[in-house]
């Protein structure tokens, strides 16, 4: 039931990285509790013809979580997702050998509301192909559609099926309760999300220093191969939507993040005090044309007023879902109906976003690359991109 025809398979495909490096990915989970880290690492890899591509959505529970988030009956949603997406892989080789020999800059990535660690693979794979190590965090603040940690099985449970004495404890998306103020919940969640990004940073740096890290997931990946391969002076944070707010919160809390990129940021969760103390590091806002509104944009402008290292651009013809992978694996009709696709070709949109990101990262991480060929995009100059915003701010400013 989960397979589709090979022609369909090729047509609806997450784009491969365009940089010089092959890309591998692997999952890392620490500690047998919700307080541990959980992330998918994308990295420059050795050629790995024998390794299979990673499954895009690795467990059926993610389909259940997406169903909850979209207000579908779980039984219906799970069957639909399994049928249409069950065989989708992402173009990164699972557990491929890490490519040593140079120090790579590090990028921490934060997902949006109702998302999880695997569904921004087009962005993460492109960054890895261009020579970044990317740690895509899976947040456990109940903003992901679903996530899990491992816990010891109780003695009473049968263990014939597996030799492992561990089991997955699932955490699903939490909806707002009746009468609950959204800002209060989201503010609390964004604090946890920022701490999880900093925790992921600390974890990767610990591995880089040669410390042994216990991965509670069974994996053949050699984590020791990362030793001395992270450029600890070149670290940035990136995220989409709620992840964009998480970028801002993380920059305000952690100076080791030298700059940040917020993709179609949702500003509601951002703390008031951040506007007072301000974020010192350079920050790039890349917005879609259809998602933004005046109040949200004004908050971005408040954060970036009179700072030439804070930039904002808008990609024409894009929607909020032009950044996650769903835009690539949905057909035209479903894509338009669920607003997963905008008027612009999804591949062109993600290229603009990635190229602007790479140019910004080169400048503010002092990279010796050729990403500066895309510098004009950071200023909103080029096909299908404008500087600042398409939103009319005059009525909001007059209020």
The single residue listed with the structure tokens 């989708």 is 88
Angstrom distance (rounded) from CA 169 to CA 156: 16
CB 31 within 8 A of CB 216: yes
Residue owning tokens 């109906």: 337
Ordered DSSP codes for 83-127: HHHTT-EEEEEETPPB--SSPEEEEEEE--TT--TTTTHHHHHHH
- Lookup: tokens for 12: 């609806």
Rounded Cα gap, residues 259 and 360, in angstroms = 9
Residue from 335, 326, 361 nearest 234 by CA:
361
Q: Which two tokens stand for residue 288?
A: 């879609």
Of the residues 27, 68, 264, 325, only one is catalytic, namely: 264
Distance of CA 172 to the CA centre of its chain: 18
CA angle 238–248–174, rounded 5-degree value: 85
Active-site residue flag, 141: no
> What is the 8-class DSSP label of residue 309?
T
Give the C-alpha separation, 93 to 41, whole Å.
11
The DSSP letter of residue 209 is T
Strand partners, 59: none
| Per-residue DSSP letter, 261 | E
CA–CA distance, 283 with 363 (Å, rounded to integer): 12
From residue 9, alpha-carbon distances to 12, 88, 130 in Å are 6, 8, 26
Out of 45, 121, 241, 288, pick the active-site residue: 241
Q: Catalytic annotation on 241?
A: yes
The yes-or-no answer on residue 320 being catalytic is yes
d(CA 315, CA 287): 6
| Catalytic residue of the set 320, 325, 355, 364 | 320
SS3 289: coil
Residue 284 CB burial class (10 angstroms; 0-12, 13-18, ≥19) = buried
Catalytic center residues: 241, 264, 320
């Amino acid at each position: 039931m989960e397979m589709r025809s090979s022609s369909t398979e090729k047509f609806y495909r997450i784009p491969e990285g365009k940089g010089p490096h092959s890309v591998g990915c692997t999952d890392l989970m620490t500690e047998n509790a919700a307080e541990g880290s959980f992330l998918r690492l994308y990295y420059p890899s050795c050629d790995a013809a024998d390794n299979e591509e990673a499954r895009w959505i690795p467990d059926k529970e993610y389909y259940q979580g997406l169903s909850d988030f979209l207000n579908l009956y779980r039984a219906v949603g799970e069957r639909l997702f399994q049928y249409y997406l069950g065989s989708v892989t992402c173009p990164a080789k699972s557990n491929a050998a890490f490519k040593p020999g140079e120090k790579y800059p590090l990028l921490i990535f934060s997902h949006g509301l109702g998302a999880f660690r695997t569904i921004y693979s087009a962005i993460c794979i492109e960054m890895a192909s261009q020579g970044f190590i990317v740690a895509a965090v899976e947040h456990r603040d109940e903003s992901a559609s679903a996530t899990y940690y491992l816990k010891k099985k109780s003695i009473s449970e049968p263990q014939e099926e597996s030799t492992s004495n561990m089991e997955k404890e699932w955490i699903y998306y939490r909806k707002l309760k009746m009468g609950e103020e959204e800002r209060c919940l989201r503010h609390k969640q964004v604090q946890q999300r920022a701490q999880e990004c900093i925790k992921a940073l600390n974890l990767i740096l610990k591995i880089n220093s040669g410390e042994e890290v216990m991965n509670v997931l069974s994996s053949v990946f050699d984590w020791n191969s990362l030793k001395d391969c992270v450029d600890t002076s070149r670290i940035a944070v990136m995220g989409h939507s709620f992840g964009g707010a998480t970028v801002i919160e993380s920059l305000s809390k952690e100076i080791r993040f030298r700059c940040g990129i917020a993709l179609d940021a949702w500003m509601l969760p951002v703390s008031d005090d951040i506007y007072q103390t301000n974020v010192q590091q350079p920050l790039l806002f890349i917005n879609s044309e259809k998602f933004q509104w005046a109040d949200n944009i004004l908050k971005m402008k408040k954060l970036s007023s009179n700072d030439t290292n804070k930039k904002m651009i808008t990609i024409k013809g894009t929607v909020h879902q032009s950044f996650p992978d769903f835009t690539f694996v949905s057909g035209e009709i479903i894509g338009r109906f669920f607003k997963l696709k905008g008027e612009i070709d999804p591949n062109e949109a993600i290229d603009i976003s990635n190229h602007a990101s790479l140019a910004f990262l080169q400048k503010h991480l002092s990279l010796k690359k050729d990403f500066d060929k895309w510098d004009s995009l950071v200023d909103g100059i080029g096909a299908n991109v404008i500087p600042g915003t398409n939103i009319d701010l005059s009525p909001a400013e007059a209020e």
